[in-house]
């Protein structure tokens, strides 16, 4: 019985996560334009091209989700200048992708970015930020354990809520 409830909860959580991108996209017409300045030279991204592409696609999708919460008509532009993912990469000698190990030391996530929010050709807010979360393992995270970039996404959510969304809503 206990396993049945767990499976039911997991199925419900999966359905809720699957519904998020669709509802976020219809919530507003704001769109994110994301560029990456020399991603091959980022501090810490996967070595293999397919893993690096997967990470950058996930990050782009997350910026799209954040942009969807802006008022209609606003445009969110982001240029990622550097990326250092949470944890450290350890080689997987049995094949497959490398392992990412989090130890809570000096392995917290960092993202250096430039951003702007504009509406009708007028820049409402812009800046350059160096985001990091030294407490990434010691606080609640709204993303599941199997979520790729869960610590980076939480850090971006916090920044966006405090810096971007709060100021763009009070035009």
pLDDT digits (tens, 9 = 90+) for 78-94: 999 999 888 766 666 66
Highest-confidence range of 17-26, 33-42, 146-155, by mean pLDDT?
Answer: 33-42
**How much is the pTM?**
0.72
Nearest to 115 by CA among 49, 83, 163, 52: 163
Query: CA–CA separation, 17 vs 143, rounded Å?
Result: 10
Q: Is residue 83 a contact partner of residue 156, using CB atoms and an 8 Å limit?
A: no
Q: Is residue 151 a contact partner of residue 136, using CB atoms and an 8 Å limit?
A: yes
The per-residue pLDDT for 169 is 53
In degrees, rounded to 5, the angle at the alpha carbon of residue 103 between the alpha carbons of residues 43 and 130 is 35
Query: CA–CA separation, 18 vs 28, rounded Å?
Result: 18
Nearest to 112 by CA among 48, 36, 33, 56: 36
How long a stretch of residues is the chain? Answer: 171
> Which are the contacts of 46, defined by CB distance < 8 A and separation ≥ 6?
52, 54, 55, 89, 97, 98
Query: CA–CA separation, 109 vs 137, rounded Å?
Result: 10
- pLDDT, tens only, 45-74: 777 788 889 999 999 999 999 999 999 999
- Please give the average per-residue pLDDT across 96-109, as a whole number: 63
Instruction: Give the percent of the chain with pLDDT over 90.
Output: 34
Q: For tokens 């994301």, what's the residue?
A: 34
* Confidence category of residue 9, pLDDT binned at 50, 70, 90: very low
- Please give the average per-residue pLDDT across 122-131, as a whole number: 94
Instruction: Give the percent of the chain with pLDDT over 70.
Output: 65
């Amino acid at each position: 019985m206990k396993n049945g409830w767990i499976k039911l909860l997991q199925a419900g959580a999966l359905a809720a996560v699957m519904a998020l991108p669709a509802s976020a996209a219809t919530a507003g017409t704001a769109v994110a334009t994301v560029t990456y300045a020399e991603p091959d030279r980022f501090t810490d991204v996967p070595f293999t091209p397919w893993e690096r592409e997967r990470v950058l696609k996930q990050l782009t999708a997350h910026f799209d989700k954040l942009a969807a919460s802006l008022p209609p008509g606003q445009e969110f532009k982001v240029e990622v200048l550097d990326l250092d993912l949470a944890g450290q990469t350890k080689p997987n000698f049995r094949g497959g992708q490398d392992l990412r190990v989090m130890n809570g030391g000096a392995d917290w996530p960092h993202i250096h970015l430039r951003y702007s929010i504009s509406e009708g050709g007028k820049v409402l807010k812009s800046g350059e930020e160096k985001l990091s979360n030294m407490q990434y393992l010691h606080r609640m995270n709204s993303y599941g354990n199997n979520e790729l970039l869960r610590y980076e996404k939480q850090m971006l959510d916090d920044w966006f809520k405090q810096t971007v969304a709060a100021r763009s809503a009070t035009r």
